[in-house]
Amino acid sequence: MRRLVSAWVLPALMAFIGLGSHMANAADEYDYDLVHSSVSFKARHLDISWIHGRFNDVAGKFSIDRENPAKSTFELTIKADSIDTANKARDEHLRQPDYFDTKQFPTITFKSTSTKPIDGGYEVTGNFTMHGTTKKVTLVLKGGKEHEFKGVKRVAFSTELSLKRSDFGFDKNAIGPIGDEALIFIDCEGMRK
């Protein structure tokens, strides 16, 4: 029995553990670091100026496979209720059904479906869901530098995204002097799990 364990089971177990650690090295799992990340946006007002805002409650995770980047995945979930334009009354107004309708559509999400390595980052295509409408979008993630701080490995990416609110079922009558197009800026830092 002892011979059987030493001859087969132990090597198999060690091989499994080794394979596991190899897999962990191949695809690193990261959690979105809310403290060092931001999702902000700006939209035109009267076509002469910009209104800026941000979402304060964001979560996400991404897995980065350095050896096979196509296997890397990215997910982001934004709580629409956490919109913040530095004006409480306007934020309340934006949460209403004429705009984000946060009681019906509480989250804005992005989930990658394919990833392609490019110079200085990744080109990530995925499903972007906002206001109950899902569209395929492509993000150009710049960055990807790693840094180990206090024993925790970190990686960061930045991207910009231009969307038309009317493409996502927002009320066309409520667009008016606020431009239809909104620019979204995502700067996210991930902490390895």
Partner 1 sequence: MPDPLVYLQAGGTAAIVSAIFVLMMGRHRVLQPNHRWNAATCVSLGLGLVTGCVLLSLRPSWPPVSGLDRFLIVIIPSVLVIEFTAGVRSLSPRLVWGLRLCLAAVAPRVLLHDSVYLSGTESWTSGQSLFVLCTSSLLLACLWISLAHLHERTADMSIPLSLALAILGAGLSVMMAGYIKGGTAAILLASVLTATTIATRVTRNRQSPAISGVGVVGLFGVLFVGTYFGRLAIDGAIVLGSAPLLCWVTAWRTADRRNEWLPGLVRLALVAIPVIVVLVLMKRDFDRNIRPLLGDADCRIVLPGVCCFYSANRV
Residue 10 CB neighbour total at 10 angstroms: 11
Minimum distance of partner 1 from residue 92's CB (angstroms): 6
Q: Which is nearer to partner 1, 3 or 88 (CB)?
A: 88
Q: Which long-range contacts (CB under 8 A, 24 or more apart) does 95-103 make?
A: 98/171, 98/174, 99/170, 99/171, 99/174, 100/131, 101/131, 101/132
Minimum distance of partner 1 from residue 103's CB (angstroms): 5
Q: Which is nearer to partner 1, 32 or 168 (CB)?
A: 168
Q: Which is nearer to partner 1, 134 or 158 (CB)?
A: 134
Burial status of residue 125 (CB atoms within 10 A of its CB: 0-12, 13-18, 19 or more)? middle
Phi and psi torsions of 20, nearest 5°: -60, -45
What are the residues facing 21 on neighbouring strands?
none
Minimum distance of partner 1 from residue 57's CB (angstroms): 12
Q: Which is nearer to partner 1, 88 or 150 (CB)?
A: 88
- Which residues in this chain contact partner 1 in the complex, by CB under 8 A? 51, 87, 89-90, 92-94, 96-99, 101-104, 106, 132, 169, 171-178
Q: Which is nearer to partner 1, 83 or 163 (CB)?
A: 83
Question: Is 184 within 8 Å of 40 (Cβ atoms)?
Answer: yes
Q: 21-55 in b/e burial notation, b at 16+ Cβ within 10 A?
A: eeeeeebbebebbeeebbbebbbbeeeeeebebbb
Minimum distance of partner 1 from residue 171's CB (angstroms): 6
Minimum distance of partner 1 from residue 177's CB (angstroms): 6
